[in-house]
Structure 1
């Protein structure tokens, strides 16, 4: 009787399999070629991947129907073993997985992955094992002991995580406060002075480190809690695999990148050492300890910058291929972007840079020179790569693009002055009836009495022209502060007037309407009126 019942059950099971497996052979072949694969998941666990259609149902439909059958199982059915029954439909072999009389899903030959190279029986056995583990987890999840144990461990992990969060926050606060107090206590020290300017950066780095620690604790807490419950254990396993996989990838990548990275660091170190040696050479040339033909003190700084840029550019170009991920699409995209930006914005910048080099290497002006640029007269405060800054007489800073300076004449009053100071001059016109020796003496006396003008070298006077009605005299003197040119000249003019008024000499140049009856000359006895001194070779010249 038992054998008859077993045979009857097997016959009913095969009949149901035939009902599920009966399909048009042409439609089945078409679906096998063009159907989309779908994976059956139960409680976050992958059970089997279906790749072909059955009875007109696509792989997605088969997965959806199989999941409905599995979820409708009773607790008693979940405890039963999963049986496998082979069948054949139109020459296509398949294996049905069922519990008792309930067919869960079928595995066909068309569902096999050609790359795995496993048999239909092995695929069905693996699917049965995965499903059994999933059903066991679902059954274990309903047990009070398992649930209470998981909740207790989760609460303990939560308490540990909250404690770690508090400790990390406390450590950050203590570290930041102590570091700030240390910087305040040593604010005058050169070693920590940079930290005051970079304090915001220090805070951001601290926040980044603490955020990484918080994220690590949260990740570990989530992984531990999910692994404590049978249903979510696969999620915890995936997070653990991801973490260890990431660490393995980073570690392996770091190990593989160490030779190339070491080579790049060595190249950059040698570049830095060579650039420092060049810096010592140019420093010696600027101080005059080294003489190089064609290298002037005014051009040493610019030449040093150009050579440094070339050296670092060559070093970076050599080290670039050894940098990890230098051949990646991200680096290539950045290179294209920077090249595009440089192409668009380099026209005006290159023009200004070339003009700046012309100014430097022509030695037309340098910092501290007193210059006349047409509408701007003042002292050069900065000669930059793109522009030059001038401080004028009104103590205003004027910025002039280098391209404008190159195309304009530059009068440099300080270039030839040397240690004697900047040369200034003023002119007066005096009639022929005043002895020239007296005019010279009065002008020199006025210069010597003017604050801001140097007495050494001594002021001197030239007779610039013998005009129709007067003689033109020009007084020259040296001064140390070119920016005070205007007030010094004003004081000099006042002293000249005082000198001429003191000795009764008329500054106004005479223009005669009618020629005087007598000759307008100075008799020899009046050639040396005060304050003129006796003739000297210098005064006769």
Structure 2
């Protein structure tokens, strides 16, 4: 009991320390991003102004033909079409005059006059804009709207001239260098925090003996890497937007690129029923779906490792409950998410039909493995923790997934096997319904050995091994007479089939030592070779050749010189 309390307290401290580090990491990232957003709020305001200019005027939103007056990439206000010109033509003429005015070094003066009972805005005594009732926002008259725009134009033009001065450019250059240095510092700090969190996750893996804990850690690492990438990207994007927002020329480019991106991502690309969805809507929906899947996996792993394991449930039922819980959460969450998103579930029938056709043609293996996974979970012919043999693979079932089953071999190598293979081919499950297994160990001895002595020796070896069960009793079978040995089999029972190869090896070591001590001979195969004698003859040609060769080489081994000379 004290050992359990010590282990539990150690695990609790590790989990608390890991949780504290994760909490500190998340808080640090949130504070860093909040500080950066607060510092770089003008860059965000640029994006907000471009979209707000299109949504804050209810009257203008009802007019199809509208255009925005822009100065140095900063949207000022929207105007409507007149009787003579369209909104785009009016805005283009106004933008040209504003650019010409700010590029000159002369003071800029914006005045408001009334001509033909209509308010007219003058720029350096030149006609700039005649404000009509169509241009006025809701709740304003044409005169009030003209007065408001006159002040806005005067402030914007004065600021534009100031931003073109050399002193301002030098000051903003220093600010740009400082912002880049700040972004680089935040980039490095985020990397340091990521490394610290990775170390804590590694310690969590090493201190955890539950597969669910490892799954939680792997999922957390994936989320952490994704969060790090998004945060770093956001830091540099906002820094670049802030720098480009400080200079008139780059602000124009930034506004044009931003306008193109906003129009591309907000334009409707998909219609389901009466609802229209843009690229942004689809990306948000996809992100929410991925978050739902990751959250369901994390919740399932926590339930499996923190609730089911403490409840004393076996590993197989734990895996089955976890899989059912995961897919239930994903299904219910997806339906609720689509309904809240405004998507009519009945409109998915077309998508379901297309998916059915895809399954029929190209996704047969995926559907087959998925269905096989459901059969394995509910029928439970194999469970997590079982020692099985599938073809040439032997190992312990670690996890039964949606499409594949993870098998951990005796060499601690993970093999991913399709679920359909467990239903289509023969599978040996050593742990199915009863983990007790009997092992057969063959032994051969010499013919001169007493069989009773062999039986006694092998029985003693089996009974003295701690991993061999006392009940059922070990047995020794006399299986037959071999060519050169008497053949026996030692039958022992074990409760852990995954250690059967280790048990066989240990018993073989002990059997060899016991037989040697009892002076029982272990024979090896012997074969007798009998050669029959008889008369055989040579051909005359071969006999004469052998006689000549023997005459050339006398008994001393030296060639006969006289014969060689005569030759």
Which of 1 and 2 has greater Rg?
1
TM-score interval, smaller chain: 0.3 to 0.5
TM-score, structure 1 as length reference: 0.45
